[in-house]
Structures are given as C-alpha cells and as structure tokens.
A = this chain, B = another copy of it.
Amino acid sequence: MEDQRSDLRRVLDAIDDLELHATLEVLRELGKVLRAAHFDVTAVVCGEELIGLEPGDTTARRHAIAFDLGTTTVVATLLDLDTGTPLAVRSMLNRQQPYGADVITRISATMMDEGALGALGERAHETLEELTREVCEEAGVEPREVYEIAVAGNVTMMSLALGIDPEPLSMAPFVVTSHELTGVRAADFGLAVHPRAPAFVFPSLGAYVGGDIIAGMLATGLTRDRRLRLFIDVGTNSEIALGSAERTLATAAPAGPAFEAAQIRCGMRAADGAIEGVRISDGELVLDVIGEVEPVGICGSGLVDCVAELVHAGLLDHSGRFIPDEDAATLAPLLARRLVKIGEERVFVMHWRGDDAAASVYLSQRDVRELQFAKASIATGWAILVAELGVQASDISQVLLAGSFGAYLTPISAIRIGLVPRLPTTRIIAAGNVAGEGAKIALLSLRERAEAESIVNEVEYVELSGRQDFNDLFIDQLAFPG
C-alpha cells in the first residue's frame, strides 16, 4: 500500500536503461503475468518498447529473423540474439510468381485487377510465414520466441507486402525512415511470431533504389570505406552505387530482363539443365551445366560467359554482330561449325540436339542484342556516376556484384562484355546476398540500424532519364570492349 507505483512503473523502474514505453495490449496482461509469476519475470524490450513480460528467466531464448524479400527468391535467416549466430537459413521462390516474374508485371496486375493488391500481399505473407515455420522448426525455436524481424526488399516488394498500392511508384516511392513510419510489426507482414514483435523496414533512396540496396550498402560498408567502390546489383532494374566515405552517388538503370535470361530464345532460370558457365578451351566450347545433366537452356551467367567468350575469340565483333561464316571458318574452325542460321537469323549453337539447330540450345543474334542493351544500360549508369563524381573508372578499388546473379558471373566475362569497368579481375568481387546480410546486421545492432537510415540521407540519387548525355553515353557503351 505504501508503494503506489503502477505495475508498468515497477517494471520500467526495474530496467535502468532507456526511457521505455508500452502499448495498451501489454498493459492489459501485465498484472496477470506479474502476479502469476510472483514478480519473477523477464521483460521483453525491443528498442525503447516493452513488448511483453514472460514468467521466469527467458533471457537466453531470444531470436529474430532477417528477411531478404526478393522479387524472385525470398531468404530467411533465424538469428540467436543471445549469441548473434544464425541458427537456420531457408530460401524459397516468392509465391507472387504467378502474377509475373518481375516488378513491372506485378504492378500491372494490381492496376488491372482490384483484388490483386490484396492477393499479392497474401502471397508475400504466405512466403514469409512458410519460411518462418521452416527456420523455427529446423532450429527448435518457438515462433513466439522470435521478438523482432528485419525486412530488406525493393520498393515494389515492400509495398505489396505491406498493402500499399505500388501504382504511383514512379512518382512516389516507399521511402521511409523509422522516424517517419512508426509501429510496423511482424504481424503486418502476416507473421505469427511474438504478437508485438516489431519489424525493421529498410528505408529506400528512391522508387528504384530500394531497401534491399540500402541493406547492401550497409553490409558492404560502401559509405564508410575510404576506398572508392562500385556496387552493382544486376537485375531487370539494376541498382548502381559509386562512392566512399567521402561521397556516394546512386542510380538505377532499367536493364531489362536479359540477365535473368528472360526474352532470350533458349533462356531459362538457373535450374537443373541450365548452362551457367561457358569457356573456349583448345578451340572448342566447354559448358558448365547445373545438375550435370544434358543442357536444356541457358541462364544469365551462361549468357554473359558465352557472349564474352565469343567476343574474345573474335566470332562476335565489337559492334555485337556475328562475323561472316568464311571469316569464322578461318579464325576458329571448330566453333565456326556452330554458327548456323535458323530462318533468316544467325545463331551460335551451344549444345546440339540432333542436327536441327532450332531444337538445340543456341545463342541468337537477337539474344546478343538484348544483352548488349542490358549491359549498356548498366554501363551508362556507372559511367555517369564516374563522371558526376569527377573520378576515373581506373580509380575504382573494387567492384561489388551483389545478389545471386553476381555470385555466378565470371569477372573476366563481365569485363569483356563491358558490364563493369576494365579493371584487374581481382578487383571484381561477388558480394553475395548483401541485402540479407544487411538485414542480419540491422537486427544485431541499433547503431547499424541508425546507419541504414543515415545512408538514405547521405547518398545522392542521380536520375538517368532526361539527361542530355545519356543517349551519347549509351551508344558508346553498346559496343563490346572485348
């Protein structure tokens, strides 16, 4: 009776830390939990919020999940917050796939069908929820022992998952900092983890430089390193950043789907039967095929390799045209036999299936053009950033190729087709799943989380469309340096 403090005040007084706060939901269960546990409880605190009380000492059981919410693939990493170590990692295809392979088709879906926004949101939630179940099961963790999540995704993926209409995206990206947007919870992503687990949502720099890229910059320390580095996330929409602790610029290049091998005649996903690597050895073609089965198509990295090798061998000239048959026969007699026609179009057969080129796995002249446009778009992007920053491409200490595509790309091929600047191959680095890494880092450190938000303020966005110099530079970059 002497102590007229409230239950909430007692709990907050016992935590001599920050200025904490709680919501009504927590207040409703506070009294019951405290008394049932005879005041022997563990306070669950996320940031400055008291999200719950648990009977006994549960401090050793605290977890979080980092999500890389990709357009194609979604990756979940369950972290033990007590030790900072990952306990389980799972990935799966984004269940939004039936609505289109890329962000543009998914946005279109929401514009054509009123119910699509809700349906796409549900698909995202199902994907995240299934991954949550899987990582928890694998690690023997109860979902309600997951107290926080972090989600890194591009602007469209984040909008769809959170029920925000992505249609005005070109005009108004989902750019928010956690100061601006408050109270986002794991439940808003459809997750049945701790009911009040907060969600850290990576802020975006613009409509086309989303939270996944901010997470990537965080993970690679791009804006905190003395070295000048180039960051490229290759995709349908490719994000490019160039800079150092001194100054960093970023832009987005609409590369089209060539790198994902869409709209490539024999293109396919990086799955069993896909040619993922191509070398010319002793004048003949050597293929790396996923699953070591008979090739059935070519994926993005195989496409880049194949073009790079043909440019290097001289079968494709710098303008991107197959050289005349007679020149090919002289230059590379074994390979020249692969250079045939399907109808009016010249193609290079990578893997024969019988005598019929049309039934085989091949690279067409038009495929080469697709790749040329795609790589020129990216190359124009970094060339403009190089110019804007007032540096030379040769000053770049490191090129970081982000994402799964970057992991499979052969550095020498990337140089030969002109996707990246001509630098020593040791400077071209596959950076891996940096978006997922960034999400993990954000869960483990409030300081890193704050850093993610300051990246958005520090990095300068450079808009490519409408620039006077864009077309000139683009045409320059169409050629293959070889």
* A-to-B contact residues, CB < 8 Å: 1-2, 4-10, 12, 19-24, 27-28, 31-32, 34-35, 162-165, 167-168, 170, 172-176, 179-184, 188, 204-207, 461, 463, 465-466
- A165–B32 CB distance below 8 A: yes
Given contacts A27-B176, A182-B23, contact A168 B4 (CB under 8 A): no
Count identical subunits in the complex. 2
Q: Which chain B residues border A466 with CB–CB below 8 Å?
A: 1-2
With both beta carbons as reference points, the residue of chain B lying nearest to A188 in the complex is identified as B24
Given contacts A28-B163, A164-B28, contact A180 B4 (CB under 8 A): no
Contact among B10, B167, B172, B183 with A24 in the assembled complex (CB-CB below 8 Å) = B183
- B162–A24 CB distance below 8 A: yes
Among A8, A184, A188, A465, find the residue whose CB has the most chain B CB atoms closer than 10 A: A8
Give the CA-CA distance A23 to B9 in the complex, in Å: 26
- A19–B181 CB distance below 8 A: no
With both beta carbons as reference points, the residue of chain B lying nearest to A204 in the complex is identified as B6
Among A19, A23, A27, find the residue whose CB has the most chain B CB atoms closer than 10 A: A27
Q: Which chain B residues border A176 with CB–CB below 8 Å?
A: 6, 8-9, 27
Among A7, A24, A204, find the residue whose CB has the most chain B CB atoms closer than 10 A: A24
Given contacts A32-B165, A180-B20, A181-B22, contact A175 B4 (CB under 8 A): yes
- A164–B27 CB distance below 8 A: yes
Closest 5 interchain pairs by CB? A4-B206, A6-B175, A7-B172, A21-B182, A31-B168
- B28–A463 CB distance below 8 A: no
Give the CA-CA distance A27 to B159 in the complex, in Å: 10
Q: How far is the CB of A263 from chain B (nearest CB, A)?
A: 25
Can you list 18 contacts pairing A with B, beta carbon distance less than 8 Å? A1-B463, A2-B466, A4-B175, A4-B206, A4-B461, A4-B463, A5-B175, A6-B172, A6-B204, A7-B172, A8-B181, A9-B180, A20-B180, A24-B188, A27-B181, A28-B162, A28-B165, A31-B165
Q: Which chain B residues border A8 with CB–CB below 8 Å?
A: 175-176, 180-181
Contact among B6, B32, B463 with A174 in the assembled complex (CB-CB below 8 Å) = B6
Q: Which chain B residues border A181 with CB–CB below 8 Å?
A: 8, 21-24, 27
Give the CA-CA distance A396 to B4 in the complex, in Å: 27
Given contacts A4-B205, A24-B162, contact A19 B179 (CB under 8 A): yes
- B180–A24 CB distance below 8 A: no
Give the CA-CA distance A184 to B183 in the complex, in Å: 13
With both beta carbons as reference points, the residue of chain B lying nearest to A201 in the complex is identified as B24
Q: Which chain B residues border A35 with CB–CB below 8 Å?
A: 168
Give the CA-CA distance A2 to B165 in the complex, in Å: 21
Q: Which chain B residues border A20 with CB–CB below 8 Å?
A: 180
Query: A31-B167, A32-B165, A35-B168 given. 4 additional CB < 8 A pairs?
Result: A4-B461, A8-B181, A21-B179, A22-B182
Q: How far is the CB of A147 from chain B (nearest CB, A)?
A: 18
With both beta carbons as reference points, the residue of chain B lying nearest to A49 in the complex is identified as B182
